[in-house]
Amino acid sequence: MVDLKIIEVKSEIGAGTRGASLGVDAIKIAAHDFASKFFFKCDSVEVETENHLLYEPIRNPFARHIEGVHRVLSRVADTVTATIKDNKFPIVLAGDHSTAAGTIAGLKQAYPDKRLGIIWVDAHADLHSPFTTPSGNMHGMPLAMVLGEDNQEMRCNIPDDNTVNLWEKCKALTGKHGFVSHEDIVFIAVRDVEQQEITLMRKYKMRNFSVADVRKRGVEKVASEALTHLDKCDIIYVSFDVDSMDPKISSGTGTPVPNGINEREAGKLLQNLVSSPKVVCFEMVEVNPTLDKENLMAENAFEILVKVYNQIEND
């Protein structure tokens, strides 16, 4: 039996739409409505957020609230490291996806000599930097951060010195332990990308298993191929953005994109992925109940969470 611990990060300063900080509680309400004792039996810890910054003026338009994002990431990293040192398997439930860069920094800190692979299940590639972002929202940047990737080649913004310094600090959270390699990232269900991201994905031949791949070949095959792609990695982190799923299932996420996977495919896919003994951490993000009807996204997210949790616990 694996000992798991839930790390709650109710942060939403990286998102462009308000409400993702309520995602974790919405998942707990779903559990309650299903009469589940899941959150009673789980060990958990909550990371302090910086959501008060939402009410302050934007100082860094190409990396909004970056000062706060850096503080949250640093806390998430330390919490993930401490959880692993305590021999527990971290499951991160977070608001916006920027937190994933903190999770990855924590994994690098806990396993400095291991090669880390990442499976990114998302509608977006989250490969922007302050130099390329169209929105300034930092939930579109976590993978660039852990790659140490500015993508200057495709630069279209001129961030000020303060932004660049803070961006360097964000990158250094992972970088001081060694950046992740482009070839060690696999995408699943990514279908809404900007030219700057496409350029990076092509340049480094980053693998994306499309929704059509999932449909045609089935989740088992895609999961096993994604894991095989990361054969050279010693450990693997699985990051699940609920916007990988189709908006017809629920509109309860900040940046919905049509033609996603359905909730059964997501559950089965993630179950297959985390059954690999190399997987050392799982994260679920971007549930936003303020955009939802009847808390549907959180209900789906909760059912997927239970599947993943049981799979890891019984492996």
Q: Give the residues lining the site for Mn ion (CB under 5 A).
A: 97, 122, 124, 126, 241
Residue 236: which H helix or E strand, with range?
strand 235-241
* Residues β-bridged to residue 238: 119, 282
**Residues in the chain, overall count:** 315
d(Cα 26, Cα 234) in Å, to the nearest integer? 34
* Cβ distance to Mn ion smaller for residue 71 or 128: 128
Residue-by-residue DSSP string for 114-127: SPEEEEEESSS---
Nearest approach, Cβ of 124 to Mn ion (angstroms)?
Answer: 5
Residues paired with residue 239 on neighbouring β-strands, in sequence order: 120, 283
Q: Between 122 and 197, name the residue whose CB sits nearer to Mn ion.
A: 122
φ, ψ at 291 (rounded to 5°): -105, 5
Report, in Å, the least distance between residue 17 CB and Mn ion. 13
Q: At its nearest, how many Å lie between Mn ion and the CB of residue 314?
A: 28
In the bound state with Mn ion, the residue whose beta carbon lies nearer, of 71 and 97, is 97
Smallest separation (angstroms) from Mn ion to the CB of 273:
16
Please check whether residue 196 is in contact with residue 132, taking contact to mean a CB–CB distance below 8 angstroms.
Answer: yes
For 50, how many CA atoms within 13 A lie in the half-sphere containing its CB? Answer: 21
| Minimum CB distance to Mn ion smaller for 31 or for 66 | 66
Give least dist CB 140 to Mn ion, A. Answer: 7
| Closer by beta carbon to Mn ion, 15 or else 227 | 15
In angstroms, give the least distance from the CB of 117 to Mn ion: 17
Locus of tokens 């992740």: 180
**What is the closest distance, in whole angstroms, from the C-beta atom of residue 289 to Mn ion in the complex?**
18
Q: At what angle do helices 219-229 and 263-274 cross, to 10 degrees?
A: 40
- Which residue number, 126 or 292, has a Cβ lying nearer to Mn ion? 126
Residue 31 or 196 having the CB closest to Mn ion: 196
CA dist 89 and 110 (Å) reads 12
Instruction: Please tell me the distance from the alpha carbon of residue 147 to that of residue 139, in angstroms, as a whole number.
Output: 15
Maximum alpha-carbon separation in the chain: 52
